[in-house]
Amino acid sequence: MTPLDKRVPGRTLAAIIPPPAQPLPVNFWRAVRRQLGPPIRPGPSLPALASPGWRRRAGAGGNLVNTLRQHRSATFWDDMYSAPDIRPAPIPRAEIGQFQDRVAASAGPAVIDVGTGLGEWACRMSKLGLTVTGYDYSPVAIESARRLHHNHGPLTFEVHDFDADAIPRHLQRESVDVVSCRHVLHFLERPRFIADARRWLHKNGVLHITTAVAEKMRDGRHVGLREAEVRELARGWREYDRYDVDPHGEITAVVLRGPYT
Ligand SMILES: C[S@@+](CC[C@H](N)C(=O)[O-])C[C@H]1O[C@@H](n2cnc3c(N)ncnc32)[C@H](O)[C@@H]1O
């Protein structure tokens, strides 16, 4: 329990925020606290959301994580990123090292970062010599990312909603070497997004997904993808690789290569 849990009885914050093991912006908790003055959106309490009726309506096998996605929106993230003292947290050196070894060294240079937030991960990828475009549906995040990283290499940021918007003109078929998706996939309409990513990637391109594994969260929070969903990602790709980003396997990374079998 955090003090915030006490302020919103019946609603576990874990359901609303990303896991702490992923890089949260500095002062993220203060921003969340501000955000949670009133409940984010009037609606059923978390126990109600977990009920079988709600699970059925949530679809995707009654996945509670999917159900909770309904409580996020671009506006939610805009508010989060509007906190005056919000700054990106640094990316652990080991994480970017693993990405470099397993993906950057062997894929081409054209990268898109899906749900880039404040753009820190996109910036680190660009420092590896990659040409990165970071997309996010929060205009506030994109504005901040542009301001924070304007001097850093071949790096651009664009507003785009991967669930709702038409595909951007410059995302052509087989135009991208790496699609990076860090702590975002569980927010997206997965079938549409994966189909899009497969189309955008070159024949040897890589979809790189970093996600929390819901069952492995040692504090019991249901965030990220379930283990079965992580395994399911392998379907239809020529190569599947996986490695854990932290020693406990709470955060895992999946490397999907070769969209055409
Ligand atoms: C947990 S943050 C991760 C930010 C960043 N990738 C990182 O690793 O620090 C999730 C991000 O996904 C973005 N997002 C969620 N759904 C999205 C969508 N449909 N289209 C674009 N961005 C989305 C949110 O605005 C937010 O910035």
**Edge-to-edge strand ranges of the sheet holding 131-136:** 155-159, 131-136, 110-114, 176-182, 201-212, 251-257, 239-244
pLDDT of residue 2 exceeding 80: no
**237: its two tokens:** 């790709």
Question: Which helix H or strand E contains 241, and what residues bound it?
Answer: strand 239-244
Q: Which atom of ligand 1 is nearest to the CA of 161?
A: 20
Please say if the pLDDT value at position 18 is more than 50. no
**Residue 70 alpha carbon to ligand 1 centre in Å:** 14
pLDDT digits (tens, 9 = 90+) for 142-198: 999 999 998 777 999 999 999 999 998 889 999 999 999 999 999 999 999 999 999
pLDDT in tens, 236-245: 999 999 999 9
Confidence (pLDDT) at 30: 53
CA 156 to CA 131: how far, in whole Å?
Answer: 9
94 Cα–ligand 1 center, Å: 22
Structural domains in the chain, sorted by start = 3-82 (no CATH), 93-257 (3.40.50.150)
Mean pLDDT of all residues in 9-17: 38
Taking a C-beta distance cutoff of 8 angstroms, is the pair 103, 255 a contact? yes
Which numbered atom of ligand 1 lies nearest the CA of 81? 27
Of 179, 120, 185, the C-alpha closest to 148 is 120
Q: What is the token pair recorded at 176?
A: 């991208």
Q: Distance, CA 118 to ligand 1 centroid (Å)?
A: 9
- Pocket residues: Cβ below 6 A from ligand 1: 18, 22-23, 77, 115-117, 121, 135-138, 141, 161-163, 182-184, 187-188
Residue 181 alpha carbon, nearest atom of ligand 1: 6
